[in-house]
Every structure is written in C-alpha cells, then in structure tokens.
Amino acid sequence: MKKKLWFALSGLILLALGYFLQNLDPYHPLQVISSEASCRMAVDVVEPITGTPQGYAILFHGVAANRRIMSYIAQDLANQNLRVFVPDFPGHGKTPGPFTPARAGDCGEALVRELIERHAIVPQQTILVGHSMGGAIAIRASGKVPVDGVIAISPAPMRTAKLLSKEMVFFPDDPPLAKNTLILNGSEEPAQLRGISQAKVKEAADGSSAYVEIPRATHVSLIFDHEVLTEIRKWNHKLLVTDSETVRATHYPLGGYFSGLIGLILISVPFLSDIVATSGKNLVDDAPALNTTRILRQLVVVSAISVVVLKFWVPLRILGIWQGDYLASFALLEGLGLLALNAQSVKKAWSLTLRTFIASAIGAFLLVLVFGLWFEFGFYEAFLTWPKWARMAPLAVAFFPWLFAEEIFLGAHATMSRVRRVILTLAFRSIGWAALVAALLVLRSGEVLMVLLVLYFVLVSILQRMAIDVVRRETHSPIAAAFFGAILSAGFALAIFPLA
C-alpha cells in the first residue's frame, strides 16, 4: 500500500506540473469549419500576436498527425504577426472521413481557394507550410494556386527511388517547385529522402528555392525543433518582411505534456492494480514460458506467410482505417497462425472468469479514455470520435489472437523479470515489423506507415507490456491480460491511423 501511495502521489504531482506548464504558453485558437467545397474540415485560426496580420500562413499536418500537433509551429507563426490557418485533413482529428492522400490534397487546395475567395487571406502575402504529407500538399497546391511562398518540412516523396517503391509514394505525379519554396530536412532522416528534396530544389528553374538540412533532427522531431523555427523566420522575413526577432514559441506545453504523461503512467499502476485486484484470486497461472528458439522460428515462418496472404487479400479492409486495416489484419493472421501451432498451450492458458474479463475490460477502456483526454488537452487529438469508437470492438478482436499468443510465449508473470518480459516482447514484435518492411521492399505491397511510425510502435509496446503485466500479475489470467492489451492496441490504432 505504501508503494502504491508513492506511485499515486508522484503521478499527481507530475500531472499538476504538466497542467501548469501547458497553460504557461496558451494555445487558444478560434475553431471553425470550412465549406462543403473544402471538405468540411475543422480549422484552427490563430490570430497574430499584434491582432493585425502582416501576412498569412496555412499550415498542413502529416499523415499520422492532426492540426493540434502543429501548435508549436502555428504559435510561432502567429508570433511573427501572421494569421495562421491549421486544418484537420479528412479522417484526421475532428474532420470526418474518408481519407486518401489525393483527397487530402484536393481539400487542402480547395481551402486555399476558399480563403482567397472569402478575403480571409491575401495570396501575395500568404505562405503555405506543411510537414511530411502536408509538405507535399503545400508544394502541390502552390503550383495551382498562386501564393507568395512555400515551406515544406520533410515533404513526403512524390517520386520513386531505389528503395522507394510506388507503394511508399502518396501521390502519382511529381510537380515542379513553385517560386520561393524552402525545403527543410533533418540530417538523421534517410539519405534517399534527403536526396530527393535536394534534387527537387536543384531542378527548380528560377533559382528562388532553397534546401536546408537541420542537424541532429529526425522526421518527427523537425516539427518541435528550434532551428526549424529559425529557418522559417528567415524565409518569412525575406518574403513578407516579418520581424525574425519577435518572441518565440516555447517548449513549455510539450514539456507539460510529457510531465503529465509520466504522471498518468505512474498513477495507472495502483489504479490498474486496484481495479483488477482479487478478480482472479481463484485462478492459478503456472504456465511456463515456451522455448525462445522455437518461438522465434514460428514467428519468422508465420510472419512471412501473413504478409504473402496480405499481398492478395486484406481481410479487415472493410473497417475503413487507412493503413491501420493492414496492421490489424497482419496481427489477426499472425495471431491465429501462432495459436494454431501451439494448440496444447492454448488449452492450458485458457483460464478466465467473468469477473476477470469485466475488470480487465473496464481497466483498459478507462486507460484509453484518460490517456486520450490528456493527449487531447496536450498536443494531439487522441480522444476518439464516434466513427472511430464504432470500430473499437472489431479492432480489439483482431489484435487479441496475437496478444494471446504473446502471453503464452512469455509464460506466467512469476517466471521471469519485468525487464526480460519487455525485451522479449520487443524481440517478438521486431520480427513482425521486419516482415512488414520486407513486404514493402520485396513484395511491393504493404503500408509505409509501418516504417514511418516505428518509434511510436516501440514506445507503445514498452508501455503496453508494462500495463499488461500488471493485469496478468493481479488476475492470474493470460486471456484477460491479452484482452486488456487488445483494447489498448485498438485505441492506439484508432488514434494514429486516419479513417479511410
């Protein structure tokens, strides 16, 4: 009880600190909805720091993001005395689907035209800014709608290359750069992506475009990088004569977000323990861990078979989750295959009572709600909309076989340390991830987000394993622990992947 109390108190302190830091640099945009012609997108409008705009910026997010995650850049653009418009593309955040990159591009272009028609922006004083897919959309829109300039932060490639198949490219054509286009890439991004950006700038005919590489930056870290703001300010000063020395956006909200996140994780330990405690007191979990070498062989074989099947048939395509349906289908096929190969172990692990099932489900749903609310308050719209909630049950069912197989492989909670369970979980899942990458590079099928989101997957896998172990320790039920993990997996997938 003393240990639980310290966890809870530490978590509450960090959560309070996170809330305080979030409000040091408030981000309170006006929220509007665009017209039917521009896809009824939810748009944040951030007013310039002086109240009177010196110019305008339209900020486009990436494929696994939304308008809220762009708030650091949006705030700094507003501090440069620009009025900033930040839309959620279809299927992202608060904008209903369906999503495809092509539709997002059309909607982004339509929004620029609509703002011009409504006299909300002056095209000769407007900068289009975008990250990843949003950077590619900004480049494409600037070729059709005249604006003063473009800032593309690590734009998604629009041409194939040696290791970049057409399955990895979001758009079918590669338009030339419009005048005054700045492309920013991180030095830690793949050399091939940086090379494509450099080539596009070299191919620009008028010499008004530029390429800048940000040191020690990755694809994701660019949208929170101080040096990126410096380059954006230089470009805006050059085109719009803005003041590049005005007050900068701070990282206080981001620090507050992480402080609160750590606080919630600490609070979750006693919270989960109390919810599921004693629910499995009549169950005995003495399942031994399976032979690791045998497991690894099975994972390699079943993963390979699964991606071959998915080249011809994605069973969960009907769910309409862009690229998330591929991940869920992979988990379903691989999980069923592994369970079939270990049928005897499945029988031994099938220990469950109604009480453990209900307690695990309640704990998982509450975690999805609580963390979703904090992400929403912080910097990422992770609280699920009703169309996404409708997909929760089938997604949880799809992830369950894989997680149940994982619980069987690891054995009872008491058979090994927590650290080893985390390490083995990452090892098991890395084989599946390698198969997904091989599907892209060798089979020319699959989904590129499996590669782009690898850091998300690693972080979520570690946190998920820690939470699942708490449930298994208290319930003594591998099936309840797997069901708990499946709900968490479904919540993560629905927060990250857009609706198709």
105/235 same-domain check: yes
What is the domain count for the chain?
2
pLDDT value at position 303? 95
241/190 same-domain check: yes
343/405 same-domain check: yes
Judge whether residue 50 has pLDDT over 90: no
238/287 same-domain check: no
pTM for the structure as a whole: 0.91
- Encoding tokens for residue 330? 């992979």
239/289 same-domain check: no
157 vs 235 pLDDT, higher one: 235
296/166 same-domain check: no
Containing structural domain, residue 137: 26-249
Name the percent of the chain lying above pLDDT 70: 99
42/148 same-domain check: yes
286/243 same-domain check: no
- Decide: 38 and 110 in contact? Cβ < 8 Å: yes
When the pLDDT of each residue in the chain is averaged and rounded to a whole number, the result is 91
Inside any domain, residue 6: no
279 vs 154 pLDDT, higher one: 154
Inside any domain, residue 267: no
Inside any domain, residue 164: yes
Helix/strand/coil for 489: helix
Q: Which of 249, 266, 292 is the last residue of a domain?
A: 249
pLDDT value at position 141? 96
Which residues are CB-contacts of 410 (< 8 A; sequence separation ≥ 6)? 289, 416, 421, 424, 425
Judge whether residue 17 has pLDDT over 90: yes
Helix/strand/coil for 86: strand
- Decide: 364 and 484 in contact? Cβ < 8 Å: yes
pLDDT value at position 456? 84
Inside any domain, residue 259: no
Judge whether residue 116 has pLDDT over 70: yes
For 266-299, how does the pLDDT look when each residue is reduced to its tens digit (9 = 90+)? 999 888 888 888 776 777 777 777 788 889 999 9
Instruction: Name the residue type at position 227.
Output: E
pLDDT value at position 9? 92
Q: Which of 231, 249, 267 is the last residue of a domain?
A: 249
59-68, 418-427, 449-458: which range is least confident on average?
Answer: 449-458
Chain center to CA of 259: 19
- Decide: 88 and 41 in contact? Cβ < 8 Å: yes
Task: Please report, for the domain that includes residue 213, its CATH number.
Answer: 3.40.50.1820
Q: Which of 249, 265, 286 is the last residue of a domain?
A: 249
Q: Which of 298, 295, 305, 297 has the alpha carbon at shortest distance from 438?
A: 305
**Ranges 228-242, 402-416, 442-456, most confident:** 228-242
Inside any domain, residue 8: no
Q: Which residues are bridge partners to 84 per DSSP?
A: 46, 57
Q: Which helix (H) or strand (E) holds 33?
A: strand 30-33
Inside any domain, residue 17: no
Judge whether residue 163 has pLDDT over 80: no
Query: What is the mean pLDDT of the segment spanning 79-100?
Result: 95
Inside any domain, residue 152: yes
For 293-307, how does the pLDDT look when each residue is reduced to its tens digit (9 = 90+)? 889 999 999 999 999
Inside any domain, residue 12: no
91/216 same-domain check: yes
Q: Identify the residue whose tokens are 């992770």.
A: 382
Residue 154, Cβ neighbours under 10 Å: how many?
29
Going 310 to 313 to 318 to 320, the CA torsion angle's sign is positive
243/281 same-domain check: no
pLDDT value at position 364? 94
210/296 same-domain check: no
103/174 same-domain check: yes
